[in-house]
Structure 1
Amino acid sequence: MTSVLIVDDQVLIRAGLAALISAAPGLTVAGEAADGKAAVTEAARLRPDVVLMDIRMPELNGVAATERILAAAAAPPPRILVLTTFDLDEYVYAALRAGASGFLLKETPPDRLLAAIRTIAQGDMLFSPSVTRRLIEAYAPADPPAPHLKRLTPREVEVLRQVGTGRSNPDIAAVMHVTEATVKSHLNRLMAKLHLTSRAQAVVIAYESGLIIPGNRR
């Protein structure tokens, strides 16, 4: 059973999400929090598998709450799924750097939200390619510092490039004509070499290093 902590400052949204999750097979609501500060406290107390995290909240915003939750969490840490309106949220890029495991727009259909919760609970990253592109175009520095990719093998660079497009491990395996286990191995090694802690951070690096050019994903 996957436990979910719902974090949103609007009581009606929390109630709707709680009803949806409670009715879904294999999912349960661990608790609710109305602001980021309460989210940090409840995440430590309840140790949920997944946190549905709003961005704009009183007391402590979703970015800061994400950082604090992950910094204080015992292993395994919760997976944090950010719910955002995007066009109004200037903090999404920072949340990506903070280690959020996925992003969804609040207009996402219920069935996709439930699928997203299950996906990230299994350790995968859920990151819409369209949101990825818009995030980087809007918030990436105009002239960012390139990471040291010379320490990566050609295969690891290609895996990083594919991750930057928003592809899942099975999709990358199909594109590169290798097994999914091989993709995971390359991904784990490149993340260790670049000192990354989440797939979301790998997406950022793929853009910042110039492996992916906004508007020209391949």
Structure 2
Amino acid sequence: IWDAGAEVLRLAHDGPVNWVVFDPGGAGLATASADGTVRVWDAATGAELIRLTHGDVVWSVVFSPGGDLLASASGDGTARVWDTRSGTEKARLAHDVLVRAVVFGPGGDRLASVDDAGCVRVWDVVSAAEVARLTHDGEVNWAAFSPGGDRLATACRDGSVRIWDAASGAELAELPHDDAVWSLAFSPDGSRLASASGDGSARVWALSTEELIAQALGRLTENLTEEEWQHHMGPDVPYRRLRDDLP
């Protein structure tokens, strides 16, 4: 932990540390290590508060929005949910392969897990039931819930970002890149998505219907007829002309 460039704390594991994250209040810090442990530390003193043990490398760790739960992803083929006060294991979510990452939904009642078989699963945190399974053609590097929790975006090594309905698992859109996509993030209002790719680009995508329509219309050199509008936009979007000075 650093303060204006000065090291104020050093937290030691018995192996490489793969992930680090502050709790929502900033008072605690969790680390995920190749030594098979997740450790929760006091961010002010560096005292180890809790040690949580997996059977293999722990790749990532994340706090729930309320800070009362902690989820971890491990090479032992499980994602686990823990109580941050007691260290009690609340749920063990079994996979067939290494689990690379976990991410909570904004309400803390949903958890997405990313495994090495190209599968992202959405779980009910309370019941530990799998509610959706998102299958990809290749490996997935990361996933993110939208701020409203209704959509889930996945960053794929096949050079795509995919957007899914988080409840049904239906694929809503695919955004192409020229190389593997390593991470992504929704804007705070959910209207845009940023993605980082091995093609040397970070891209920002418009997701709101109005912005997408505005961008599409801005590329036209003539107004759509009402028949063309119905064909491309559908019956639920009211017809309008792009500009009165265009044919």
Greater fraction helix: 1
TM range (shorter): under 0.3
The structure whose RCO (Cα within 8 Å, separation 6+) is larger is 1
Alignment TM-score, normalising by the size of structure 1: 0.28
Bigger Rg, which one? 2
Greater fraction strand: 2
Alignment TM-score, normalising by the size of structure 2: 0.26
